[in-house]
């Protein structure tokens, strides 16, 4: 594996499978009375969050803590960042503190790539602008594997604001690496102009794609997109591209409904779909911690085994 | 001071001697008598007319941390230029006779090359009301080129009026063609790379829509239009069409748009962030062909100095622009001469004769000949060097060519018979 995880494109098929297999191994820990492993004892992980995202930050924090890493939460609000400190100066500060890993969430696409120029520790992209969110894609793949047995050959449909979605970008890259067939569905306004060059299918017709899907992943649609004329009204969007109960009925029996959250119930997903047994939405959250443990372990753990050492037995 | 330049290949021709006396070229021939002049060996060097840049940001007044008239004109001289047009987007904006005269005077005092201030088209380059174009034209700075560069004069009525108004003093409006609504928050060329990188796109149509409108306006009112930094293949076609109609439309292309593509944004290093953005390989090829066939009249640098901190950031908040005066001729050689698209006479036409004509610059853009002003550049096309930002004469370091090996080296520049560069060093 590379030193950083910035894009899902950084992962070879073997890398991705190693992360998913490691996550499976680590998942067994979640069932134990004591969930903590000593693997990253003495290592420092900084959560550097320039955007509010409590769920992602908590997920990374729980993952690092279960591996016994020291966690420093550095949020933009109330820090020197809000006083106009540059990313570079923040990076130099983290470097001086000896961060072994930096988990960064940032509103600007490419910020993790820039950060990686200025720190020695491993950089993990926890979502950058409209670029990528690779650990989300990993946890989605992990969830699919747990539910469906395998990702390879599965037909995954991703629906929503593809143009602005970091989740869609990372999933297209990772899922195709893992051998899935991805179809993107959206109104034409919400695709990048050159989406035809992506390694996936593109459709404007949700209903036509539904019966051929093993997984339907719904993306959050921000209501302000309406003001920029990406679609006429939220209601029209919901009618054409929302997943409601009748549409769920068009899916094969085994097919899953996924959503990276936070959901707009009643917009891209109906409440009865979100709460149905086919929905993996809550599971995705739980799996997020496990997959992020695997990522942090593989990037920061060096040669130590993830679990099952004698040292751990002595804990 | 008199100089005898020995063995220079004038416009790439056979080696000749050039004697300079009293600010003009006295004689060109073989084995000329020095007549007591200081001799400069120019074996293997090409003699070009002093280069003229229609598009330079000197940043003074206002951003002297990035560049001053003195440092910018030193950089210009180092790049072989003897005249530059200083863009109007300073602080305060060059929208009054007072500001343009100040810039003009600073240029005269520095003495490294002629500085022709560009006047803003609208007050404060805000796109609402015309600036006092006549006052700037009548000032000591003698302004003939007007531009809101950095901003597009997108109001069609205001653009029409500006085009018409400057006819009274044979001025030209140099348009930064960028439809503002189509480029809100735009970060880079809209295409395959922008979609992959998640950076907001700056579509070619935003440039082409304004160019087509402006060509039609210029035709309608019978005015001169100059299109700044043309960056797309589509723009080239529109300009070719306008010229075929006999309309008075001229255009420039930057060295970076002749050489670099949008894939460089993959690093997210804002050193490659510029407006208009770097485009695709197909665009670069179309621009090169257009410069070769004369559809695009000239090379203009859009030299845009920025302090280090404006570029050492994430992509989105970073400043747009790149420096280019010192590398312009080398990049032009690599893109146009070494590829066989232009010979040296052709390059002299595109980097000196035509820009001087478009800007109505007196005493510049004359091919080397007896009696012509002694504005000359001696250039070694055989030299090669890796671009080192730390070595730049400009105050700023934001060159996209850092680490790239480029051909050629300016050995000497003469401004009206006086050397501003000798042995590759600014004097």
Question: Residue ranges per domain, chain B?
Answer: 2-46+373-394+407-426, 50-358
Nearest Cα to Cα of residue B50 among B295, B425, B405, B378: B378
**Is B269 within 8 Å of A87 when comparing Cβ atoms?**
no
Query: Both A138 and A267 in a single domain?
Result: yes
For domain B50-358, say whether CATH 3.30.365.10 is its number: no
Angle in degrees, 0-180, between the axes of helices A134-148 and A166-177, rounded to the nearest 10:
50
Residue B103 confidence (pLDDT) above 90 = yes
Confidence of residue A77 (pLDDT cuts 50, 70, 90): low
| Residues of B in Cβ contact (< 8 Å) with A110 | 197-199, 268, 314-315
pLDDT value for A150? 94
pLDDT, tens digit, 9 for 90 and up, residues B9-64: 999 999 999 999 999 999 999 999 988 999 999 999 999 999 999 999 999 999 99
Q: Do A193 and B269 touch (CB under 8 A)?
A: no
Which chain A positions have a beta carbon within 8 Å of B273's beta carbon?
A: none
Compare all CA atoms of chain B with the CA of A166 and give the residue at the minimum distance: B198
**How do B376-386 and B46-49 pair as beta strands?**
antiparallel
The answer to whether B71 and B106 are in contact (CB under 8 A) is no
A174 membership: H or E segment, kind and range: helix A166-177
Number of compact structural domains in chain A = 2
pLDDT of residue A224: 76
Q: Is the pLDDT confidence value at A80 over 80?
A: no
CATH architecture of B2-46+373-394+407-426: Roll (2.30)
The reply to whether residue B309 touches residue A198, judged by beta carbons under 8 angstroms, is no
pLDDT score of A225: 77
Please state, in angstroms and rounded to a whole number, the distance separating the CA atoms of residues B361 and B356. Answer: 5
Chain B partners within 8 Å of A197 (Cβ): 192, 195
Interface touch A194/B197, C-beta < 8 Å: no
Res. A286: pLDDT tops 60: yes
Q: How far is A115 from chain B (nearest CA, A)?
A: 9
Same domain, A69 and A178: no
Asked whether residue A141 is domain-assigned, the answer is yes
Are A27 and A89 within one domain? yes
Quick check: B192 and A169 CB within 8 A? no
Domain that holds residue A68: 8-132+285-313
Tokens 């300009």, residue located: B239
pLDDT band, residue A311 (cuts 50/70/90): very low
Contacts of B181 (CB under 8 A, 6+ apart): none
pLDDT at A309 over 50: no
* d(C-alpha A103, C-alpha A112), whole Å: 9
Chain A residue with CA closest to B193: the answer is A194
User: Chain B: residue nearest A108 by CA?
Assistant: B316
CB B158 within 8 A of CB B185: no
Asked whether residue A159 is domain-assigned, the answer is yes
Are the C-beta atoms of B123 and B95 separated by less than 8 Å?
yes
**Residue A84 pLDDT grade (very low, low, confident, very high; cuts 50, 70, 90):** confident
Range with the lowest mean pLDDT among A37-46, A202-211, B245-254? A37-46
In a domain, A107, yes or no: yes
Q: Is the same domain home to A154 and A277?
A: yes
A187-211: pLDDT as tens digits: 999 999 999 999 999 999 999 999 9
In this complex, which of A114, A131, A194 lies closest to B192 when CB atoms are compared? A194
| pLDDT range class, residue A314, cuts 50, 70, 90 | very low
The residues that bridge with B380 in the sheet, in sequence order, are: B409
Integer CA distances (angstroms), A189 to A63, A185, A242, in order: 37, 11, 16
Q: In chain A, which among 42-101 make CB contacts under 8 A with chain B?
A: 86-88
Q: With cut-offs at 50, 70 and 90, classify the pLDDT of residue A302.
A: low
Residues 143-172 of A with CB under 8 A from B: 163-164, 166, 169
- 10 Å Cβ neighbour count for B280? 18
The per-residue pLDDT of chain B, averaged, comes to: 97
Structure tokens, A139: 């946890």
In sequence order, what are the residues at sequence separation of 6 or more whose Cβ sits closer than 8 angstroms to the Cβ of residue B271?
A: B311, B322, B398, B399, B400, B402
Rounded Cα distance, B414 and B50, in Å: 7
Establish whether A36 is a catalytic residue.
Answer: no
| pLDDT of res. A33 | 85
Nearest-angstrom CA–CA distance, B48 and B380: 11
Where is A216: in which H helix or E strand?
Answer: strand A215-218
| Of B291, B264, B268, B295, residue with least CA distance to B280 | B264
Position B344 scores a pLDDT of 98
- Which CATH number do you get for residue A157? 3.40.50.1370
Say if the Cβ atoms of B195 and A193 lie within 8 Å: yes
Beta strands B201-202 and B225-227, pairing class:
unpaired
Q: Give catalytic status of residue A83 as yes or no.
A: yes
Instruction: State how far the Cα of B84 lies from the Cα of B88, in Å rounded to an integer.
Output: 13
Asked if A124 and A145 sit in the same domain, the reply is: no
Shared-domain flag, residues A121 and A152: no
- Alpha carbons within 13 angstroms on the beta-carbon side of residue B246 total 1
Is residue A1 in some structural domain?
no
Q: Is the pLDDT of residue A214 over 80?
A: yes
Catalytic position from the list A2, A3, A32, A55: A55
pLDDT at B353 over 70: yes
Subunit contact B192:A130, Cβ cutoff 8 A: no
pLDDT tens digits along B374-417: 999 999 999 999 999 999 999 999 999 999 999 999 999 999 99
Share of chain A above pLDDT 90, in %: 81
Going by pLDDT thresholds of 50, 70 and 90, the confidence category of residue B85 is very high
ipTM of this predicted structure: 0.92
Question: Would you please indicate which residues of B are annotated as catalytic (active-site) residues?
Answer: 302
Mind telling me how many Å the CA of A35 is from chain B's nearest CA? 37
Nearest to A110 among B197, B201, B309 (CB): B197
Are A272 and A155 within one domain?
A: yes
Mutation target vs B (from A9, A51, A85, A114; most B CBs, 10 A cutoff): A114
* Cβ-defined contact of A114 to B314 (cutoff 8 Å): yes
pLDDT at A39 over 60: yes
Question: Is pLDDT at A9 greater than 50 in this prediction?
Answer: yes
Q: Does residue A243 sit within a domain?
A: yes
According to the model, what pLDDT value does residue B1 have?
80
Do B178 and B235 contact (CB within 8 A), yes or no?
A: no
Distance from CA of B294 to the nearest CA of A (A): 32
Q: What distances in angstroms separate CA A303 from CA A39, A44, A314, one per listed residue?
A: 10, 17, 19
Rounded to an integer, what distance in angstroms lies between the CA atom of residue A51 and that of residue B401? 34
Indicate the burial class of B211 (C-beta count within 10 angstroms; 0-12, 13-18, 19 or more). Answer: buried
pLDDT at B261 over 90: yes
Q: Is A133 a catalytic residue?
A: yes
How confident is the model at residue A312, as a pLDDT?
Answer: 39
Check B195 against A131: CB less than 8 A apart: no
Once rounded to an integer, what is the mean pLDDT over residues B321-350? 98
* Nearest by Cα to B189 from A194, A133, A191, A199: A194
């Amino acid at each position: 594996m590379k030193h950083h995880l910035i894009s899902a494109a950084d992962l070879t098929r073997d890398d991705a499978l190693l992360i998913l297999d490691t996550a499976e191994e680590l998942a067994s820990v979640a069932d134990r009375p004591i969930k903590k492993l000593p693997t990253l004892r003495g290592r420092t992980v900084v959560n550097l969050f320039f955007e509010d995202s409590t769920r992602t930050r908590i997920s990374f924090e729980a993952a690092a803590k279960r591996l016994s890493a020291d966690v420093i939460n550095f949020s933009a609000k109330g820090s020197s960042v809000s006083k106009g400190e540059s990313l570079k100066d923040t990076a130099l500060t983290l470097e001086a503190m000896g961060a072994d890993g930096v988990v960064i969430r940032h509103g600007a696409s490419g910020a993790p790539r820039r950060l990686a120029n200025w720190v020695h520790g491993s950089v993990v992209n926890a979502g950058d602008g409209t670029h990528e969110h690779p650990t989300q894609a990993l946890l989605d793949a992990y969830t699919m594997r747990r539910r469906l047995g395998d990702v390879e050959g599965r037909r995954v449909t991703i629906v929503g604001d593809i143009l602005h979605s970091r989740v869609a970008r990372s999933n297209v890259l990772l899922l195709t690496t893992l051998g899935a067939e991805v179809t993107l569905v959206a109104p034409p306004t919400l695709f990048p102009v050159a989406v035809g060059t992506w390694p996936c299918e593109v459709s404007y017709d949700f209903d036509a794609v539904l019966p051929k899907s093993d997984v339907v992943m719904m993306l959050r649609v921000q209501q302000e997109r309406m003001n920029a004329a990406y679609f006429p009204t939220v209601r029209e969007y919901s009618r054409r591209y929302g997943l409601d109960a009748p549409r769920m009925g068009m899916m094969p029996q085994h097919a899953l409904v996924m959503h990276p959250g936070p959901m707009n119930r009643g917009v891209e997903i109906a409440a009865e779909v979100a709460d149905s047994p086919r929905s993996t939405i809550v599971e995705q959250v739980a799996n997020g911690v496990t997959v992020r443990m695997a990522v942090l372990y593989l990037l920061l753990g060096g040669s130590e085994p993830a679990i099952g050492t004698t040292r751990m037995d002595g804990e | 001071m008199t100089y005898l330049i020995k063995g220079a290949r004038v416009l790439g021709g056979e080696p000749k001697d050039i004697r300079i006396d009293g600010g003009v070229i006295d004689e060109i021939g073989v084995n000329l008598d020095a007549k007591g002049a200081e001799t400069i060996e120019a074996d293997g060097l090409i003699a070009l007319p002093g280069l003229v840049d229609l598009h330079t940001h000197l940043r003074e007044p206002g951003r002297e941390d990035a560049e001053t008239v003195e440092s910018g004109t030193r950089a210009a001289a180092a790049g072989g230029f003897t005249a530059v047009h200083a863009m109007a987007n300073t602080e305060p904006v060059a929208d009054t006779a007072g500001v343009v005269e100040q810039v003009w005077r600073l240029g005269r005092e520095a003495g490294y090359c002629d500085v022709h201030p560009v006047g803003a088209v609208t007050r404060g380059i805000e796109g609402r009301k015309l600036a006092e174009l006549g006052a700037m034209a009548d000032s000591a700075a003698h302004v003939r080129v007007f531009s809101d560069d950095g901003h597009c004069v997108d109001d069609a009525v205001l653009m029409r009026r500006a085009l018409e108004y400057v006819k009274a003093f044979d001025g030209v409006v140099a348009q930064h063609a960028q439809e503002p609504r189509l480029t809100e928050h735009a970060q880079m060329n809209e295409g395959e790379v922008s979609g992959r990188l998640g950076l907001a796109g700056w579509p070619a149509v935003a440039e082409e829509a304004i160019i087509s409108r402006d060509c039609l306006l210029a035709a309608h009112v019978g005015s001169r239009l100059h299109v700044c930094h043309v960056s797309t293949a589509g723009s080239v076609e529109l300009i070719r069409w306008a010229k075929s109609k006999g309309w008075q439309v001229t255009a420039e292309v930057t060295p970076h748009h002749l050489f670099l593509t949008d894939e460089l944004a993959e690093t997210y290093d804002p050193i490659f962030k510029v407006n208009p953005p770097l485009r695709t390989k197909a665009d670069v090829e179309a621009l090169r062909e257009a410069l070769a066939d004369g559809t695009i009249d000239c090379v203009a640098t859009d030299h845009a100095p920025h302090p280090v901190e404006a570029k050492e950031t994430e992509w989105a908040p970073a400043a747009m622009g790149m420096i280019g005066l010192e590398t312009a001729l080398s990049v032009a050689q690599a893109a146009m001469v070494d590829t066989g698209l232009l010979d040296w006479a052709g390059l002299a036409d595109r980097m000196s004769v035509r820009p001087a004509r478009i800007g109505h610059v007196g005493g510049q853009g004359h091919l080397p000949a007896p009696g012509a002003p002694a504005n000359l550049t001696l250039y070694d096309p055989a030299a090669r060097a890796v671009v080192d930002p730390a070595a730049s004469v400009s105050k700023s370091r934001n060159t996209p060519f850092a680490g790239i090996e480029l051909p050629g080296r300016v050995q000497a520049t003469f401004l009206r018979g006086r050397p501003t560069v000798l042995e590759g060093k600014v004097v």
